């Protein structure tokens, strides 16, 4: 599989960020590897905390021509000059987001392991559909998005599909032929050298 056919990396921030400490780590990752998109995905729902963090990350991402999307906070996208939003409620908010943000913004929808939600989100105007987790995590209801879901989607649906949650080298190798993006976050940020950790995961695509 050549570079053009390989899935791209969709980088996800840690759920908690101390900006001064995180910024150089993020810069090192973005300078070491091609990243298609960066998602700010904080555990807090405090819009002002998210906004301050987004301000800092936007400069880092845009200086490297990497779009920055924010999880959930629709109202911050235009206010802060972000590139779009990542929604986690399946298809429910996609149409509203598209109406608010216009045709040029990125609108993504995470749909768990639900083929139906994914198709509905696509019909409502999503730019990509995320499925996951791809292995058991002990979180949520335990439903896993299996390889058969991604294989079906890649064969039947043109809309890009993102695999995320519980990724490791083995899962990445398995899913490489049937996904467009891997959303990588905690898998690398827990490592003292996240750029090296991402490189190891990317090597599994070959």
User: pLDDT by residue (tens digit) across 145-201?
Assistant: 999 999 999 999 999 999 999 999 999 999 999 999 999 999 999 999 999 999 999
Integer Cα distance of 127 and 107 in angstroms: 5
How many folded domains does the chain comprise?
1
Q: Per-residue pLDDT for 4 more than 90?
A: no
Residue 139: its pLDDT value, please? Answer: 62
In a domain, 74, yes or no: yes
Mean pLDDT, the chain, rounded, equals 95
User: Of 68 and 138, which is predicted with more confidence?
Assistant: 68
Residue 164 host element (H or E): strand 161-164
Residue 136: its pLDDT value, please? Answer: 86
Beta strands 8-12 and 37-40 are: parallel
Residue 140: its pLDDT value, please? Answer: 64
Mean pLDDT of 87-92: 95
In a domain, 96, yes or no: yes
In a domain, 112, yes or no: yes
Mean pLDDT of 101-107: 97
> Rg of the chain over CA atoms, in angstroms?
16
Integer Cα distance of 139 and 165 in angstroms: 10
Residue 206: its pLDDT value, please? Answer: 86
In a domain, 169, yes or no: yes
In a domain, 3, yes or no: no
Residue 116 host element (H or E): helix 115-124
In a domain, 2, yes or no: no
Q: What is the pTM of this model?
A: 0.96
Spacing of C-alpha 68 from chain mean position:
10
Which domain CATH number covers 198?
3.20.20.70
In a domain, 1, yes or no: no
Task: Look up the domain containing 40 and give its range.
Answer: 8-203
Residue 93: its pLDDT value, please? Answer: 97
pLDDT confidence band for 42 (50 / 70 / 90)? very high
pLDDT confidence band for 1 (50 / 70 / 90)? low
pLDDT confidence band for 2 (50 / 70 / 90)? low
Mean pLDDT of 78-87: 97
* Cα separation values, 32 from 28, 41, 90, 140, 167, Å: 6, 22, 33, 33, 20
In a domain, 46, yes or no: yes
Q: Per-residue pLDDT for 138 more than 90?
A: no
């Amino acid at each position: 599989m050549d570079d053009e056919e390989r899935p791209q990396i969709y980088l996800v921030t840690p759920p908690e960020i101390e900006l001064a400490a995180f910024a150089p780590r993020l810069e090192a990752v973005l300078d070491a590897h091609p990243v298609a998109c960066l998602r700010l995905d904080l555990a807090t729902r405090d819009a002002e905390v998210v906004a301050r963090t987004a301000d800092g990350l936007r400069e880092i991402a845009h200086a490297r021509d990497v779009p920055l999307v924010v999880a959930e906070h629709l109202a911050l996208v235009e206010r802060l000059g972000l590139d779009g939003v990542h929604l986690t409620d399946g298809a429910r908010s996609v149409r509203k987001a598209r109406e608010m943000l216009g045709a040029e913004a990125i609108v993504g929808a995470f749909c768990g392991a639900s083929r139906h939600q994914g198709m509905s989100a696509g019909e409502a105007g999503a730019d990509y559909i995320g499925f996951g987790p791809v292995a058991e995590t002990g979180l949520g209801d335990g439903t896993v998005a299996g390889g058969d879901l991604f294989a079906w989607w890649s064969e039947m649906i043109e809309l890009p599909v993102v695999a995320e949650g519980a990724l490791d080298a083995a899962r990445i190798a398995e899913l490489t032929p049937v996904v467009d993006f891997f959303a990588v976050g905690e898998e690398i940020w827990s490592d003292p050298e996240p750029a090296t950790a991402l490189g190891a995961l990317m090597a599994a695509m070959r």
